[in-house]
Structures are given as structure tokens and as C-alpha cells.
Structure 1
Amino acid sequence: MDNSSLPGQAAITERLADVVGWYANEGGPSYRHVPGELVKHDFFDGIELNVRALLAFVETGKMPTAHELRPITELAMARLANGAGLPEVIGSYQKVSADLWRRFVSDTDPSELDSALELMPKVTEYIFNIVTLIATEAAHRSADPRSEARDRARAAVDALLETGRASGPLDIDQPSFVIAVFHLSGSTDQGSAVSALKSRIESIVDVHLRLELQGWVVVHWSGRSREQAVAGLRQKLEDAQSASGVRCWAGIAFAAAAGGVPAAYRIASGLAATAYNLDRPDFVADLAGMTIEYLGAASGPDLPAVAELVGGLSAADPIFEHTLRTFLEENCNQLATARRMHVHRNSVTYRLGKVHALTGLNPLIFAQAASLHAALIARDLS
């Protein structure tokens, strides 16, 4: 191939940068078992490395060495360590490459299309080389005892969460378990901080971590009482989250024995998802602090019917609903509500009376105030 007939390197680089920007807006690469926040933050690092290596290959005709391409293969190894399978890692690399190449060609000026297409053999050869290096490195590391130990731990955590059977590293004499399920915010600009948070949590003693698409599951075993075990892990998680600054939510639940872990996992997952959907200000959510919210989310198809209890507020002055929400947040204290809203207490009483008239539920009666609270949550979740 005559390199003099190809578009200039600067033009190719600029075009590739545009393609990568397009791919970012499309959502970037996805994995079945690894949270997007742990993939996308280093995706662009990998793309930049690949573009530089590919352009060098096109310019010189000399394939970069395995040592020069090691940063790229290390990114693939990180995906494997985080729970993705080798076919998924290689398939994702091939799909991303194909998507970017198709976009590159479609954005090429017709007058330069033939020249751009002359790059195709080089692109194909480069991708084949990278895939081979990834597969070779994965095979080499599969024989590493640390890899085998990691796989055993992962299988033990899966079995505990799904069946309630403690095996391998989790087969401990009479432990109790605390399960924390993380739900990340979905923001890809906090990727490096997410990796730092993950590392901090993995360093906690007597903890195993399993990745999921929305975040991860933390399994902590302890011989302490329920209160001590939950409080201890909660404090460590809060310290780790505070240090990293990652926006996320964690549902937390306790199991007195291995057999109760699947139920605790279900509850913690529900709490995390509910806290995320409601955009709760607190990082850690437990059942005691979110009972109504959790039950509301668990009601599923019945949410619209519950939300209809406050349907009468929708067409009314928004100040009535705002006053009701503030009243509930202030533990049904009218004076505290008036102070927070900077109005006279009589104004609060009047507005709550309007809520009663519009909904048929009196917020000054505890049971009916609880119903109003549940209905507002149901509407927020609908």
C-alpha cells in the first residue's frame, strides 16, 4: 500500500477524535456484569492508546510490540478481573472497533473515501493482533494461583447470595452476615473515583465484593451482634464513600446465618434501588429508616392506585403539596413546619386543612398522615 495516497495523519487523528466523541454520546461500550462507571472512565484512555498505536503502524508498517501494547491489554485484564468473561471482553473490543470504523468511513468525504478504505487491511491486522494478545495474556493469567483464588471466592459469593450456602472462603463457624448493595448514580465522569471507592471497600477486613451492572454487592461476615456488625460495616462504608466523593446509594441488611443471606440480599437490593429512584440524600439506607418507601416500591403494579390517594393535589396550588411534604419531613410538627417555611403557624393549619379537603385524608391524624406519606412516595416512584 502506498502511504502517500492516504489522508494525512493529522486529518485522520482529527476524524478519529470526532468518531470517539460520537461514540461517547451514544453511550460507549457495555458489559453484562461490570458497572458502566468502571468501564467508561478508562474507555477513552484505551481508545487514545489504540489510535496512537494504529497510526504508528499505518505510518511505519511496523506492528507495535507486546510491551508497547501492554497498557491496552492491561485494560482488558482489568475487565476480566472485574467479572467479565473472555468472550465478552474480546467481543466488546471487536464491536467497538467495528462501530468506530463504520462511523469513520461514513464521515469521510467521498473524494477521500478510496484512500480511507485503503486503511482497512491495516486496521484488520491491528485488531487481530490486539485480540491475540488479550487471549494470550488471559490464558497466561488463568494459571496464576491468585486468579484461581479469585474465581473460587467469586463462586462462593454467588452461591451464598443465591442459595444461602456458605462454601469455600465463606465457610466460617457460625458467622452472621451483613449485605450491602450499591447503586451508582450512572454518571461516567466519576469513573476513577468509583475505582478508588471499590478499592477502599475491598480492603475492609472480612469483606468480599461482587460486581453488578448497577454497582456491586458487599458481603461482610462477622461474629458480632446484629447492631455491632451492621454499625461497624456501615461506618466503614460511609468513611470510604466520604473519602471518594462518589455519588451512590447503598442498601444494607443483616442475616443471622448463611441461610438468611438471599433474603437480606433481596432487601438490600430493594433499598438501594428505592433510595436511588427517590434521590435520597442519605448514602446508606436500612429497612428501619425506609420502611414505607421500601414497601411502596415493592408494591409494583399497585403504585398508581396508592399514588391516586393524593391525586387531588395535582390540580391545586402547589403550595399545599409543598406544605404537606414539609410537614411530614418535620415529623408532623406544625410549628417546625411554619419556621422552616417562614410563615405563621395558622397558615400551615389552613394549608393542611386544604390537603384534607382535596384528598379526604387528614394529615393531623397519624394513620392518615402515614397514608399521605405512602401516596407521595408512590407517586415519586411511578
Structure 2
Amino acid sequence: MTEHKHGGDLALGGQRVHERLSREEPELVSRVLTRIQAEVADYRRLPVEELAGDIAGITRQAVRAFARSLREDRELNAAELRQIGASAVRRAEEGFPLEAVLTAYHVGAREIFSVGSAEAGHADVADLLEVADRVLAFAGTVTGAVTRGYLEELRTKVGQEHTARRTLLSVLVDGGPVDVVARSAGIALPARYLVLSVELGPHADEESPGVDAEIAVRRKLRRFLAAFERCCGDGVLASLDGPGGLVLLPLAGRLADVAEWRQLLHTAGHAAGVAVLAAADTAAPEQVREVATQTADVLDVLRWFGREPGLYRLDDVLVEYQLTRPGAARDRLAAVLGPLDAHPELVETLETYLVLDANRRRTATRLHVHPNTVDYRLRRVRDLTGVDPLHPAGLPRVIAALAARRASASRRA
């Protein structure tokens, strides 16, 4: 087993490596900067003063840190790592790619080894291998410090942006000084938002054995929102949980008509792998509170009437919306079906019958019963409530009564 050699004694070509690095530091720093610009495209886009200032400075610090660590036979110390981490924080603040920063440090490590070993001879093999090992260890340590500093700043930045957007969404929905909050957060408000109240169906993974349901839900929501962000950029505001919630899309030059709204919703649902039911309308920022309340109400109506997945506006459900508004008429409509409370099989049959466009045979197939059983149950509904779902004149009333029943149940819940 080879005995460890003190780093300060490692010599190549008759000269200690740390002394060579210190003596040739200016040329070495210049070589690193030239090679970084040649090999890492992102650095060619930096201002000249930044390359000659901050980037040259941290390169010089890194070269000196390695030379000291070699001379003192140690790893980089906490102060040296803090310098490197602080530089990474500045790159993160600028939005500079982490991949580019890491590549630059590896370029620097290769240049350090190249200069340090420039005059190595056959007799220097053992020391050459030791220096190579130390350069690799140095590169690994630096990679860790850069990554930690960069990601910590990124998490802070993302957290601040997330908080600012959540605050803005809250003010838009709950009311408050929207312009003041937007300015303080550095967010430009669009002239209008597309307000979406959405209900997301469950993803198959949420109920798959062995799959973490919470992870499946987060993945569903991430993919759903990503589709909106690809279309509308980072101005999308959302408050979503597993079953759905509210999404605000900036309209600035996008989504000019309802057909485009529907296509985008379909794309988002497809990306998430779920069916989506949504109520939509547009609003100026100061109108979002009122419109969000209305779209949430419309979404409730869509649920109560069993509408198919898709995007709807108030105009699509005007009658249904009016039928389910709170009041004495709704309460009396809901009471029409009160006698069915003790007969859940009748309620199930009635709901299925209406969903399947009053087709008794399809209803029987769906419920796995004989068509005569469906007829019997629907006649029982007539006998108990006085409303005949088998007669064309009774259908509007029973549909309205069922929707009012659902609306009343939702209010009680």
C-alpha cells in the first residue's frame, strides 16, 4: 500500500505543484476564462465586465484555495467553500444555468491539473497520480458547494415567487388593493383573466395498489397546470387540490374565443390523464372576485345536472342555474323528492334514467336489472312524489326537483 505523501511535498518536473500553481496563477486564471468562454456557450453571453470582475475573481479564489489545500495537505475549509457557494448564489440570482456553472468549475479543474502537471516526467508517476486524485476530490467538493448554494437560493426565490403569487391570487379572489400587491410582487396584471372553476376526475394511479395516492395527485396537478403555463407563461395563478379548484389565465393576446378555451382545457386534462369539468368566464382584475364566485356556482350546477366533462359558460346552463338559486321555490322543488329518502334504489334508478336520456333499456343494463324493474321503480317514484318521470310532461319537473335536491344537500353539507 502506497504511503500517503504530504500535499505540500507533491512535486512534478522538479517543482512543488502548489508553488507552480501560485507562480503561474495569472496565466492560469486567464487560460480558465478563455477555455470557459470557448466551451460553455452561456458564458459568452455574459457582460465583459462580469467576466473580468466577478467570474475572474471567483476563478482566482478557486485556484488559490486548491493551492493552499495542497500546501497544507487538507480539504477545502468552510471559509473557502462559503466563497464558492456565495458565487453560486449570485449566479442563481441572475438566472444563470446551474449546468453551465458546474461545467465551468470542471473546466477550471482540468486547467489546474494541466498547468500543475505540465513538466511531469517518467519519474513523477506516483506524484502525478496523487495530484490527479486531489484535483478530482477538489472538483467533487466544489460541485457540492456550488450545487448547495445555487439550489438554496433557487428554493428561496421560488418560495418568494410562490408566496407573492398566492398573495395576489388571494387578493384577487377575496378583494383588496390588487394593484398595490401586484406592484410590490413585481407582477404585471393583464387587462383580463380567463377564470376557470374546475373539477378534476381521479387519475387511475390514485387508486392503484402499491402507488402513493398523494404523489399521484401531485403529479396530476403538476401536469394539469404545466399545460396552462406552456400556453400562458408564468402569469398563471391557481389554487388547486386533488378534486380541483380555481385557475386564472392571463388573456393578453391569447385564448381569443371559447373554442380555444375548450381546446386548452382538453389539452390540460389529457396531460393530467383525467376528465375535467369546468365553468369559465372572463374578468378584469377587479372583477375576479365576483366572476370566480359565479363560475364556482355554475360548476355546482354542472355537477347537480350531471353534465359531461368539458368547458361551460353561464349561457350554457341559464335555466339550470336559475332553477337552483336559493329560495322558497328551490326548497319546495327539493321537497318533491323527499318521499324517496327511504328508497335509495329509486333515487339511483331515477338518476341513471335521466343521465341516459330517459332510455329505460340502457338504464336497466347500467343497473344490471330487468327493464320491467326499471318501469316498476319509475312508477313507484310517480306514486310517491306525484311526478311521473315516464311522461314527457313530468321530465322537466323531475329533473328540476333532482337538481334542487342536490343543491339543497350541498348547502346543508
What TM-score do the two structures reach when normalised by structure 1?
0.48
- Structure 2-normalised TM-score? 0.45
Bigger radius of gyration, 1 or 2? 2
